[in-house]
Chain A
């Protein structure tokens, strides 16, 4: 009998959380004076336990103090932000202010009626953001849909506009008496010399021309064949379907066939081999990013190594910069179910005005000191705890990094300073050549979004077949295959819709 009672208690105990879990309690009813808004914040898992969590920490408290608002932060895992936001929207629990970097996603929210037009609110309530917008008219096209503004945004700093980079070992060039390549043809010649002429002078044939990371986007950009829409005589054409894409394939195919690159890069999905090649001085050229964190290790391993970023290469189509982001950085939209838009505008006004600086660099005298107008970290350890996570709260900012500031901001030891100088030149090089981008954003055509998710795997697989498939898989064959796949997936209809959208909206894009 006793046992029965125990089991009954256990059963009820097991049941209790489930029952209470069903009745959602409303915590909002507090009766405080301060207006309440909720804002999404990217959860990168970087709030130290001693600081609290993403919902409550020194910076959230500081924001509430400064703004006189109660801001409820809704953490969204950075790696699956859109899925999580979609889920919150679907269940009606989405925050008032939704923050994302991805313009296509914002377009989706507009299409689905999640976001609301903002022109009236800005007109009525805003001072600082209104002013900012007047000074930055060119940002408007990024947030305008059907003639109305649907998002707040701010200008990207130069260091996040630049993206990819191609690094080359200047010391290897010097060893072989070669000059810096300026065209795709010269790049191949240098790669051949790096592979076969013992550029590191160690008497052993153990080097390769290139280590490859991010090579898809980099080679596409070189030939003006990125996965973007290009205006060709008034009609929009999708980059991977142009003749130029075949040239990008041909370059990779030559590199592979002549064994100037790792013959197993296909299965090196985490790029571990590629990284090893570069940091151990076994490859003379690296395609990756302009910041290149691997250079530190390379220079630690080989004191003579002199990595330099190459300037954009000239091809038969001219000279294109590597991928650059658009001028608009983050997007903040107002949920159409939002109750207090005025508080939202007030919050953003404060943010773009003064909030962002402290949120990015901490307090002066505590976290940073100003050196020549540039914030320099005082105590790297302290900042690591207190500042490593705060940048995501600055949903709008006016930060504009100049390349010459990089050495001032970096740590002061010799290697860090050398790397910082290198990075400064690298950023200047990366931004020197403009990247051709004919539209401020991808066309918000639903059919296009659908077709890209099906077309992109085909593109990647055909590309790989051309590169590694031997003499019968020519770049021309690849291009024909791509066009056929595109057609088969309904690409002609997409092109029609995209061009109709283009004709209708062309006028609203600012001339870049």
Chain B
């Protein structure tokens, strides 16, 4: 209590942020009751009739739901397997570059796609992969391989999705690892050098363990997004021919919720998504704790 009075101005400073969270993050959560009601525009949230688990029953009995859930999970699993290690490897590589100018240039080039909107990137990717005019197929032709219409193929589409994510944000993702690497005590490297460790051994025994907890936290946070797939990326890349692999929860929510005005149903879906996200975060955190890392809490 004494400290409360003593630091009163600091607390006063904190108030706006507290308000921000209460007003914009916690109060809207009350809207979740919509998932248990038949939301009607004129009646508003409070007066709309309660319907219990009706929307959840519809959700779990809809075959569409399992398809989009499968697509969402698959895209995320691919992305954890293939995307997640890329920024780590990139930052390890960058860390070994000694020429400052070269390093900065490479970093900037890697960051650039992150600042381009998916609307533009989507167009670039589609034209790069075009079977008639795209660069990729022109190269394939040199090796006498028949042109492939990547964007139309249900096999290639997820591949394009993951590769385009890497292209777009792997460079940006290195920032946090680069920062963690900077935090490693330089003396450790010196000691290892004296003991005769080569570059590879230094990376394996010093750099990687040094950023282990950062990797763990990034993984936990990533697990929480297992049911999220960025709307824009999918929306820009998808087309009617690959609907069966590209329809994910976020695009489905958009189609049904906003375009179809089924607010209660999509709220139920959103709630389901959050609950799964929470379970995944806490269980990954548990696993990480068991492995001897701090994790999130």
Contacts and interface: CB of A to CB of B under 8 A. Distances in A.
Interface stretch (A6-14, A45-53, A183-191, A226-234): A6-14
A450 B260 contact: yes
Interface in B229-246: 239-241, 243-244
B151 interface: yes
A457 B243 contact: yes
A11 B12 contact: yes
A378 interface: no
B44 interface: yes
Instruction: Name the 10 nearest CB pairs between A and B, nearest first.
Output: A453-B260, A461-B243, A464-B240, A464-B241, A460-B240, A11-B12, A14-B16, A11-B13, A267-B151, A267-B126
A114 B243 contact: no
Contact of B41 (A114, A269, A457, A463): A114
Interface string B70-100: 0000000000000000000000000000000
Contacts, number: 92
Interface string A436-450: 000000000000011
A461 B243 CA distance: 6
Contact of A89 (B41, B130, B255): B41
11 contacts: A8-B12, A10-B13, A263-B149, A266-B241, A267-B130, A267-B151, A450-B262, A452-B260, A454-B256, A457-B247, A464-B240
B261 to A, nearest CB: 7
Contacts of B149: 263-264
Contacts of A15: 15-16, 19
Contact of A453 (B41, B244, B256): B256
Interface in B255-269: 255-256, 258-262
B63 to A, nearest CB: 6
B18 to A, nearest CB: 10
Contacts of A18: 16, 19, 23
A412 interface: no
B131 interface: yes
Contacts of B123: 270
B3 interface: no
Contacts of A449: 260-261
B5 to A, nearest CB: 13
B261 A86 contact: yes
A4 interface: yes
Nearest to A92: B44
A33 B260 CA distance: 43
Nearest to A461: B243
A86 B262 CA distance: 12
B132 interface: yes
Contacts of B256: 453-454
B40 interface: yes
A89 B44 CA distance: 9
B273 interface: no
Contact of A264 (B130, B240, B247, B259): B130
A148 to B, nearest CB: 18
Interface string B117-133: 00000010010001110
B64 interface: yes
B105 interface: no
Given A11-B13, A86-B261, A263-B131, A454 B239 contact: no
A488 interface: yes
| A interface: dominant SS | helix
A103 to B, nearest CB: 15
A7 B41 contact: no
B240 A266 contact: yes
A340 interface: no
Interface of B: 9, 12-13, 15-16, 19, 23, 40-42, 44, 63-64, 123, 126, 130-132, 149, 151-152, 239-241, 243-244, 247, 255-256, 258-262
A394 B151 CA distance: 45
A112 B240 contact: no
B261 A463 contact: no
Given A90-B41, A267-B130, A461-B244, 14 more contacts: A7-B13, A8-B9, A12-B12, A15-B19, A89-B41, A108-B261, A114-B42, A266-B240, A452-B260, A454-B260, A461-B240, A464-B239, A464-B241, A468-B241
A163 interface: no
B42 A112 contact: yes
Contacts of A269: 239
A458 B68 CA distance: 13
Contacts of B44: 90, 92
A83 B258 contact: yes
B258 A112 contact: no
A269 B64 CA distance: 24
Contact of B152 (A83, A113, A266): A266
Contacts of A489: 64
B19 A264 contact: no
A42 B96 CA distance: 58
B9 A113 contact: no
A488 B61 CA distance: 11
B259 A453 contact: yes
Contacts of A7: 9, 12-13
A86 B41 contact: yes
A454 B64 contact: yes
Interface in A388-420: none
A465 interface: yes
A453 B252 CA distance: 10
A12 B239 CA distance: 51
Contacts of B255: 453-454, 457
Contacts of B261: 82, 86, 108, 449
Contacts of A114: 41-42
A264 B239 contact: no
A248 to B, nearest CB: 15
A301 B106 CA distance: 44
Given A266-B239, A266-B241, A269-B239, A113 B42 contact: yes
B266 to A, nearest CB: 11
B13 A460 contact: no
Contacts of B243: 457-458, 460-461, 464
Contact of B240 (A83, A463, A488): A463
B122 to A, nearest CB: 9
A264 B132 contact: yes
Contacts of A270: 123
A266 B244 contact: no
Nearest to B45: A90
B31 to A, nearest CB: 11
Interface string A466-508: 0010000000000000000000110000000000000000000
Interface in A252-286: 263-264, 266-267, 269-270
Contacts of B258: 83
B241 A112 contact: no
Contacts of A12: 12
Contact of B63 (A83, A86, A266, A488): A488
A264 B9 contact: no
Contacts of B241: 266, 461, 464-465, 468
A266 B64 CA distance: 23
